[in-house]
Structure 1
């Protein structure tokens, strides 16, 4: 078994051994990054490999998975006018969060905790619960009140314990972080733990392979805590550094207008969040994060890529979900946000891919 790379704090450089249960920087309490700079394999060497995200083994900080559910390798389908969709709602637990959850469960299995905890508005918790069930690890998921009953049903079906926390998404995160201080607890945080980002980055490695060794001009992603966007940024950097692409795509981040702290900071030209964004109701519940801990990293990644931010209204989300359903793709409202942002030509004539991140069966059809 290969040694695990250490973590470090991107804010102050503090190093944290991966084989500890530390989930954040002990100095500033911020999220961690991984001291890991892999070289992806060339396109021709991928033929015949396992048909899951583990085919990109050279880019992953863990090898020889034991908890895989065959995650990854989701279809890429054209929509219209150079815009395509990657169907990540077809992953085992019906959301893209499986890409990162399998890495966290594999890491937890190697560390041998007394229990695993997570916080979530639904999809991440479902994914962590499923992969902990696969690994035989006890799991507790902290969720905010008002979480979709269908998502709660899915979490408990995997044998996880659900703790409903009064308040919103940040209240659930606070409760989980307090519980994470208990001895022998592994906090499977999809925000603070960098292993999750190294799982989500496989989304872009798959795009690169499916497009014959290139990437679209634009990669569009929904952003709340930014785990898919930051994973995409990692993969683009890996492919470019290895000389496997000669042009980096622009990263465009989509937020709901009702809760758009990052888009507001972007409009202000700021390097970090500006002011205080209150929690608010939105159909895009999965990205309704008023204070994302990795805000500085997200803003920098978008800026460095030459991309930008787009916001969508509730009406736009409703119509986008219906439009996708009319094309045979039934996705949850958060997953429809990216299509809402670009379907009417916001990107001009550039080629782009949007992720359809979660299945419509998780939340049902939105009403105007």
Structure 2
């Protein structure tokens, strides 16, 4: 696993409003100076206000990114980096959204892509990956089997364009924090985020930390990470300490995108939550589709993985500070549920 020895700083004077989406913040992406601008129009997603549980909530519509999920922010940065290394073919593993995003950006740059997915991955996501021209390799069993399969391919010489092991995507996700600061005119009081590997949560946290270091905000927002109760290792570790990890299983969940038994950056995510006075919330299966329907009735159609935020919001709404931002990570068009 890789990370930056020194994180890039955020300088408001270097924000280039003439550039599209996340590339307005190129100086904070940590890319080599010669990295090409690989873009399909990711970033600059809408912030829509709606009432929920008696509070005004700002929903960040990450499902409006080019391939229908927040992953595009990270993939644009990662593929840009790979191009500086002359990579023309790479492999990735994914439950769906990261694979679709990688396949799209690989296609846009002429890169050959192979994506290892668990066999249970939603049909629309697999079809999306294939539509971009990538080779889809279904792997039977739990999500960890796909991760092990792609690592074997890497051991045989394939370039592993991992959204989990490589750090470029995290700084791509950090641009979400910069956008929220600009859209709200201040830092949020609370940000609620679905969590699998934890890269999005970590990126958002790093983004707000960069804004604080730049003197643009006084305090970090409180972060609330959301996991499916049947596979909630970060919730368990945060709630019960190391003993909590002994009983965690990789249970089947409608929220397939957060079905991660061993988050690679778990320690960093847990440290971030302590620093932001954050918390984790676990959502039971019978609440997921109900949450999706409640969001849809507000005009916001998301996949089950994204819908877990609704019940999480209900659990914490009386104890969190405004402005309250909820990240809607993936489009409802990606799921048959």
TM-score by length of 2: 0.94
Show the counterpart of 2:181: 208
More helix as a share of residues: 2
Aligned to 1:111: 85
Structure 2 residue ranges without an equivalent (≥5)? none
| Equivalent residue number for residue 136 of structure 1 | 110
Query: How far is 1:104 from its partner?
Result: 1.4
Q: Which residue of 1 aligns with 2:326?
A: 354
Deviations 1:277-312 (Å, cap 9, x if unpaired)? 222111111001111111111111111110111111
Instruction: Name the CA distance, whole Å, in 2 between partners of 1:99 and 1:70.
Output: 9
Unaligned runs of 5+ in 1: 1-30
Q: Closer, same or farther in 2 for the Cα pair 1:269/1:277, shift >3 Å?
A: closer
Question: 8 Å contact 1:82–1:350 — kept in the other structure?
Answer: no
Instruction: Give the Cα separation in 1 of the matches to 2:36 and 2:297.
Output: 38
Task: Output aligned runs, 1:60-209, within 5 Å.
Answer: 60-62=29-31, 65-80=36-51, 81-183=55-157, 185-209=158-182
Q: Please give the per-residue CA displacement for 1:303-341, whole angstroms capped at 9, x wherever unaligned.
A: 111011111111221111001111111100111111221
The match for 1:237 is 209
In structure 2, the partner of 1:12 is none
- Residue aligned with 2:159, SS: strand
Q: Paired residue for 2:263?
A: 292
Which residue in 2 is equivalent to 1:342? 313
8 Å CA contact retained: 1:302, 1:308 = yes
RMSD of aligned C-alpha atoms?
1.7
Partner residue of 2:231 out of 259, 265, 268 = 259
Q: 2:288 is matched with which residue: 317, 322, 327?
A: 317
Q: Deviations over 1:254-293 (max 9, x none)?
A: 01111111111111134x9721522211111100111111
Shift of 1:347: 4.5
Is the CA contact (8 Å cut-off) linking 2:236 and 2:248 kept in structure 1? no
Q: Is the 8 A contact 2:231 2:261 kept in 1?
A: yes
CA distance in structure 1 between the aligned counterparts of 2:26 and 2:116, rounded to whole angstroms: 31
